[in-house]
Amino acid sequence: MIRVLSYAGLIPFVFLPLASMVWPLLAPAQALLLFQFYSCLILGFMAGVLWPVLHQPKAATQQALAAVSFPIVSFLALALLPAYSVLIQAGLFLALSFYEHFSGISQQYQQSYRTLRYQLTTVVVLSHLGFYFFYG
């Protein structure tokens, strides 16, 4: 079920850029705004699932603060730098993945979940870059 829900979560990342090209009722600016909001939401979710791992006794306060910073920076980028927020969000998704890997958090996941998160991150980052370079 986790795999199905995870792949279903990719639908807006793939659908919104495509829909804005072929569906005249969805203007590129509207699709971009929806994409940016959804990206903020999903980045917050992906950072939020770190909390059970970080809640363990050996987790440092700095790790918890770092996890919270990803969605905050994403929201600030959308509010303050909307023209670049898609690129910033792509970088934040990559940074979150690197953070999980280099902090050892991802090692606490089952291998199948770790692989799933890497696959999802790859699709999400590519969709961000595609959206930016197509409309930017």
State pLDDT tens for residues 56-71.
656 566 677 777 889 9
> What is the model's pLDDT at position 122?
96
> What pTM did the predictor assign?
0.88
Do 4 and 46 meet the contact criterion of CB atoms below 8 Å apart?
no
Q: Which of 130, 112, 106 is nearest to 46 (CA)?
A: 106
Reduce the DSSP state of residue 114 to 3 states and report it: helix
| pLDDT for the residue numbered 38 | 95
What is the structure's pLDDT at 87? 95
3-state secondary structure of 25: coil
pLDDT digits (tens, 9 = 90+) for 14-32: 988 888 777 767 788 888 8
* CA R_g for the chain: 15
pLDDT top residue among 10 and 104:
10
pLDDT at residue 112 above 70? yes
User: Mean of the pLDDT values across residues 43-57?
Assistant: 73
Total residues found in the chain within this entry: 136
Of the candidates 54, 38, 53, the one whose C-alpha atom is nearest the C-alpha of residue 93 is 38
Instruction: Yes or no: say if 125 and 90 are a contact pair by the CB < 8 Å rule.
Output: yes
